[in-house]
Amino acid sequence: MNKKTIYLAGKVPKSDTEDFVDWRLECKKNLGEDTYNYISPLENRAEETDTFAVFGQCCSQIKRADIILVHANKKLGAGTSQEMLIAKYFGKAVITYLPKNTPHRKTNIVLTGKNIADWIHPFIAECSDIIVESYDELSQAVLELSNKKIKDILIVDEALSYYEKLYLKN
């Protein structure tokens, strides 16, 4: 049986002097170093001054992966959020590690006058196929993907149509 390949999407250091803890190491340890093949945007890094190559590198790595794992316990950057949409473009499964009470997931908040018990940022919620809160749940989620319909880029059209039917009654 071929091992699944997981692309590890999330924070990358923005300078050589940034204090950066590579969460990818902990993730691989928890999922099993030898259980999956891992792809990281930190590997085989394109020259940072060649922005088109950096963009192409991430697109290539996402295209080659079976699963995109988004590490979202900290505030996500523009690159990670775009990687989620690129994953949907390629029809790839997206599992998002998003514990409660982190920047993109809040408990018992009031928005537009309504209490929301477990608010998840809408873009993360809708571009994710599964959202987990722990590494234990993450391991189980990878196994459950075979029984789950994976969203693709059509999620954009579906959301647009849903919104227009509900809110733009012309």
- 8 Å CB contact between 53 and 21: no
Beta bridge partners of 111: 114
Model-wide pTM > 0.85: yes
Which of the four pLDDT bands, split at 50, 70 and 90, describes residue 11?
confident
Distance in Å from the first CA to the final CA of the chain: 54
Determine if residue 94 is left, alpha or beta; phi over 0 gives left, psi from -120 to 50 gives alpha, anything else beta.
Answer: beta
For 27-74, what is each residue's pLDDT tens digit? Answer: 999 899 999 999 999 888 889 899 999 999 999 999 999 999 999 999
For 51-60, what is each residue's pLDDT tens digit? Answer: 999 999 999 9
Mean of pLDDT values over 72-94: 95
How many C-beta atoms surround the C-beta of residue 15 within 10 A? 7
In angstroms, what CA-CA distances link 163 with 21, 116, 144, 160? 40, 20, 30, 5
- 8 Å CB contact between 75 and 106: no
Backbone torsions φ then ψ of 146, nearest 5 degrees: -65, -20
What pLDDT does 132 receive? 97
The pLDDT of residue 156 is above 80: yes
Map residue 113 onto helix, strand or coil: coil
Two structure tokens written together for 32? 């099993």
When computed from its CA atoms, the radius of gyration of the chain, rounded to whole angstroms, is 17
